[in-house]
Amino acid sequence: MTPPAGIDPRGPRFAATITAILLLFATFLALIGSSANAASASLAQRVLDPGFLLAVVIAALFLWSVTSPATAPWGALFRSAIRPRLTPPDELEDPRPPRFAQGVGLLVVGIGIVLHLIGVPWALPIATAAAFIAAFLNAAFAFCLGCQIYLLLQRAGIVGRDTSAA
């Protein structure tokens, strides 16, 4: 199996920057919303919490990036408006690790959403803060935590097996 065509590594960093900003707002909104007293808040109050609503939008964006990366909004914006103004990248990147990282973000935010809905205090801001840290590391320092997890799993033979090399 040949690896998929490469992507410009600046694209995932661009997406991580926007995602980090959204996650920072979601964390702030979750901290000032019903998260602290989620156990005593009604389900309607938890669902209408602005931090929860933004987290659901972020989870939907993560899901979109995992299921259809070619049409995901931040990637499409980068390809149409940003990349044409940049010099070509020195090298291309395997798209599988960044896609896996989007899945990890979806998992982390999704767990926070579910725990918030069932009334676990602080679950939502902790989940969005954890995802924010990962997105910020990618945006600011080009360190993709999810990509590193992917590479560890690949070395262990769990994901991304290349059968043609055998």
Residue with tokens 């959204």: 22
Q: What is the pLDDT of residues 6-48, one digit of tens each?
A: 999 999 999 999 999 999 999 999 999 888 788 888 999 999 9
Structure tokens at 148: 């590193």
Q: Collapsing DSSP states into helix, strand and coil, what is residue 93? A: strand
* Structural Rg of the chain based on CA atoms: 17
Go through the chain and tell me how many residues it has.
Answer: 166
- What is d(CA 70, CA 22) in angstroms, rounded to the nearest whole number? 21
Instruction: Please enumerate, as own/partner, the contacts of 106-113 that have beta carbons within 8 Å and a separation of 24 or more.
Output: 106/59, 106/62, 106/63, 106/66, 108/134, 109/23, 109/55, 109/58, 109/59, 109/62, 110/59, 112/55, 113/52, 113/55, 113/56, 113/59
Closest CA to 78 of 65, 91, 94: 65
pLDDT score at 61 = 98
pLDDT of residue 166: 41
**pLDDT of 165 strictly over 60:** no
State percent of the chain over pLDDT 90. 87
CA distances from 159 to 6, 30, 64, 113, 125 (A): 18, 34, 21, 26, 30
CA 65 to chain centre: 8
For residue 37, the model assigns a pLDDT of 82
Q: What is the pLDDT of residues 97-148, one digit of tens each?
A: 999 999 999 999 999 999 999 999 999 999 999 999 999 999 999 999 999 9
Please say if the pLDDT value at position 2 is more than 80.
Answer: no
- How confident is the model over 59-80, as pLDDT tens digits? 999 999 999 999 999 999 999 9
Percentage helix, strand, coil for the chain under 3-state DSSP, each rounded to 5: 70, 0, 30
**Secondary structure (3-state) at 87:** coil
What confidence tens digit (pLDDT) does each residue in 77-94 have? 999 999 999 999 999 999
